[in-house]
Structure 1
Amino acid sequence: MKKHIKIISLLSLAVLAFSCTDVIDVDVQSAPTRLTVEASLDWEKGTLGNEQTIRLRTSTEFFDTTSNTEVTGASVKVINDSNGTEFIFEDQNDGTYTTNAFEPIVGQSYSLEIIYNGETYSAQETLNAVPDLTILGQSRDDGFSEDDLEVNMVFKDPEEEGNSYFFKFQKQDELLPVFEEFDDEFVNGNEIDWYYESEEDDDTEETEAFEPGDVLHIEFYAISQAYRSYLQILVNQIGGMGMFDATPVAVKGNCVNLSNPENYAYGYFRVTQVVKVDYTFE
């Protein structure tokens, strides 16, 4: 008799538990499918910079699990605006378009032209020179914590006003990088000291300080002011977006649809010079 009572009780609890489960529907705004452009022509200082890749995809709804979004069959080229030289990017049939003939020139303006589904997309950017970056070493002096290691760097900002930069820091074996963008509004023409220490994780509110043997990959870019503004909006939206936050507005890049302005593309066409270096903590 006791065994029957125990089984009945357990079944009752199970039914009660399932009956108290509510389904929450998250209302996500829908949006038209758009062309997404990943066109970062980054010229690493000290290299030819001739090999470049542009990737095209289509956008999807927030909860859409579609994996095949690669765009093939498009016409993609970059044009030197001064002499009209065209660099054709060949379709690799996997969403990527490549060239091994690009000629990066500091101070030169370039235009991107994409023809897709009978519509023409266009964007323009200028290649700015990046200063040399010197790694001074490491210390515990400049960061928020006097106990944590940071890497110390220095570079000389050119005297011309209006220079913009961003750093990309990525610890070896970590999935996501950290971006820091800034301009020379208050430091124009000066030698600039910069440091980076490991940042606090927004989810765990914990900081994993650098330890001896850790390897940090550093990329230092010279960028346009327009791209810096785009980065600021993009990073702020990603950093502040939660499951039940208001849906952020679409972040428009510089790719304009000349055939149908309302059907604009996502993404950005940038042309930059970059310094890349790895630092190993001691």
Structure 2
Amino acid sequence: MKTYIYILLAFCLLSCEDVVDVDVPQSSPKLVIEATIEWEKGTVGNEQEIKLSLSTPYFSNEQFVPATGAQVIIRKLSDNTTFVFSESTEGIYTTNTFNPELNTVYELEILYGNEVYKGQEEFKSVSDINSITQTVEGGFDDELIEVNIFFDDPEDEENYYLTRFNEPGDVLPYYFPLDDEFTNGNEMTMFYEKEDGDNENDELNEGDLVEIELSGISERYYNYMSLLLQQADDQGPFGVTPAPVIGNCVNETNEEAKPYGYFRLSEVVKTSYIIQ
């Protein structure tokens, strides 16, 4: 009886090796807008860059399809000052005349393929980083080194932040959005601890360099990033089914052809820390 079962299983495994071609429906390419305007503290902030590309099918080998020939401007709504972005390389639009002003609303306008795209956002400020420390006591694993940053949250106002940690050579940085709902007006902290993998390169070790960024963001961008990161982290049979995450840009010519991406303006603190 056992021999019969083994033979039957082997037959099933061999008979299931046929390749099945499945026609995957493909939608028309959509404009992808990567318009992150960052004003690093201590700099003029006049040099800025916007990247435009087209969405690609899921199984495509193309990593970046530039959207060329667009007209790109940002307008400061308080006085109607306009900043023109010129295409320096395919899909990359730059300017060296931008004038950042905190707590001011800006409008992005893109003319591409005879369609007009627009988005509005307020330029958000951020606090300085007070200190950076390392420890092994406050993270998820008490045997791994973690990096902690501390900064003051302003009183009597809602604030949202985006932290970014990265080791040079890592494939992807670590992002974490943060709000002050329960810590308004207090010193806030955020920690970074790499997951323990199969080798020591998957954790922080003495001599490692960690690049750190702290940005001020809007509530809408906080919600946008939270949803994106949630979808990226969901795995397994009980994960949330991925769905397009819509940003703050709209297609004013064709409402159905919604673009991907986001228009963000943030003051940012950039620094680094070497593990001791």
- State the TM-score bracket (shorter-chain normalisation): 0.7 to 0.9
Q: TM-score if structure 1 supplies the norm length?
A: 0.86
Matched, 1:92 2:92: no
Of 121, 124, 147 in structure 2, the residue corresponding to residue 125 of structure 1 is 121
Q: Which structure's CA Rg is the greater one?
A: 1
Matched, 1:263 2:257: yes
The alpha carbon displacement at 1:31 in A equals 2.3
Q: Is the 8 A contact 2:123 2:265 kept in 1?
A: yes
Supply the distance in 2 between the matched residues of 1:24 and 1:45 (Cα, whole angstroms): 55
Q: Is the 8 A contact 1:53 1:96 kept in 2?
A: yes
Q: Is the 8 A contact 2:134 2:148 kept in 1?
A: yes
Q: Partner of 1:146: helix, strand, or coil?
A: coil
The alpha carbon displacement at 1:236 in A equals 1.3
Supply the distance in 2 between the matched residues of 1:150 and 1:26 (Cα, whole angstroms): 46
Structure 1 gaps, min length 5: 1-15
Sort the Cα spacing of 1:205 and 1:136 in 2 relative to 1 into closer, same or farther, 3 A. closer
Supply the distance in 2 between the matched residues of 1:205 and 1:269 (Cα, whole angstroms): 38
AA at the equivalent of 1:85: T
Supply the distance in 1 between the matched residues of 2:220 and 2:65 (Cα, whole angstroms): 28
Q: TM-score if structure 2 supplies the norm length?
A: 0.88
Q: Deviations over 1:176-199 (max 9, x none)?
A: 111111100111111113322223
Supply the distance in 1 between the matched residues of 2:89 and 2:274 (Cα, whole angstroms): 39
The alpha carbon displacement at 1:148 in A equals 1.8
Q: Percent identity?
A: 42
What's the counterpart of residue 252 of structure 1? 246
Of 268, 275, 278 in structure 1, the residue corresponding to residue 269 of structure 2 is 275
Q: Partner of 1:261: helix, strand, or coil?
A: coil
Say how many residue pairs are matched: 265
Supply the distance in 2 between the matched residues of 1:26 and 1:275 (Cα, whole angstroms): 48
Where does 1:74-223 land on structure 2 (aligned, <5 Å)? 74-200=70-196, 208-223=202-217
The alpha carbon displacement at 1:93 in A equals 4.2
Supply the distance in 2 between the matched residues of 1:260 and 1:95 (Cα, whole angstroms): 22
What's the counterpart of residue 41 of structure 1? 37
The alpha carbon displacement at 1:146 in A equals 2.2
Task: Tell me how large the CA RMSD over aligned residues is.
Answer: 2.6
Q: Is the 8 A contact 1:29 1:247 kept in 2?
A: no
